[in-house]
Amino acid sequence: MRVRKLMGTLLTLLVTAGLLAAPAAAAPVPAKRFPAVVNLPNGFSPEGIAVEGKTAYTGSLATGAIRRVDLRTGVTTQFAPSPGSGKISVGMDVDRFGRLWVAGGGHGGPLPGVISSFRLYDTRSGAKLADVPVPEASFINDVEVTRDAAWFTDSADPAALVRVPIGTNGRIGVPEKIVLGGGWVPGGPINANGITATPDGENLVVGQTAAAGGGAALYLVPSTTGDVALARKIGLQGDLESADGLVLVGRTLYVVTHDGVVEVELARQLTAGRVLSVTEVPGAAFASTGALFGGRLYVVDANLGENLSNIGNPDATFKIVAIPVP
């Protein structure tokens, strides 16, 4: 007993003096060592992406199936099978309840026979929690989830969003069509496309792929609960030729375009901005959207092909490319 007590006292003194240190924890692997390119199965036809922790999800425009990606290793596995005929996967986001929201396209878009709808999945089990038709929508394209709602863009409608209320317990409400009014000006066949929210959830930034005067446009939209949202066009210094996925970090907006990622610095009131840079996505044939992880922007190469010929093409190749955040 005396020996044990003496040893215990000695160990205490050594630890206190810093002469006997605890084993060092393994240093985390820097994100820059993670794979910069994640190859997806031939013919998969991805479009959207969502990141939860070190895991990404991307869905198929051809079948609606969803792949899970380990961003540390680049390994992809099936997360959810095809939901059936007429169902595809476009934009996606993960909410605070661990649910993956998936925009399901629609009958008014470029793909025939698609049902206007959205779906929810449990990110832990992969179980499909809901499959909700939205017949009043034309093409449900992208989604951004805030604390109290999921906001979808309806790209084939000249001026519309779809809002799905989320209760404090996670219960989802009935989809509501929100008309874009105020300064919104309808443009070409693809209008509202990418969407993101300010950290407080009070405002949305919506990208318009084909603006009336040519090129693309960005709008600030209040997250209203009414039938009409009074959008304000964001005045830009610099060119924005197209706009698909949007990623907002503070007042820096990353706009994924088909030719690269455009960095836009927004003014404090978010109603003006200036283009700072354009970053190429190496090897991407048609960049569609992106998500952040570990100081990188993971960009989906949708590789749509001429006249969408690569959607479902078993010989077409697809990938996700990581670039340093500009």
- What pLDDT is stored for residue 1 in this prediction? 41
The pLDDT tens digits of the residues spanning 139-194 come to 999 999 999 999 999 999 999 999 999 999 999 999 999 999 999 999 999 999 99
Kindly indicate the confidence band of residue 16, based on its pLDDT and cuts at 50, 70 and 90: very low
DSSP 170-237: S-B---EEEEEEET----SS--EEEEEE-TTSSEEEEEESS-TTSS-EEEEEE--SSSEEEEEE-EEE
The rounded mean pLDDT for the chain is: 91
98 has pLDDT over 90: yes
138 has pLDDT over 80: yes
25 has pLDDT over 70: no
Name residue 135's beta-bridge partners: none
Pairing mode, if any, of strands 228-233 and 176-182?
parallel
261 burial type by CB count under 10 A (0-12 exposed, 13-18 middle, 19+ buried): buried
Kindly indicate the confidence band of residue 103, based on its pLDDT and cuts at 50, 70 and 90: very high
Kindly indicate the confidence band of residue 30, based on its pLDDT and cuts at 50, 70 and 90: low
- What pLDDT is stored for residue 225 in this prediction? 77
What's the alpha-carbon Rg for the chain, to the nearest Å? 23
Q: Which residues contact 32 (CB under 8 A, 6 or more apart)?
A: 294, 295, 296
134 has pLDDT over 80: yes
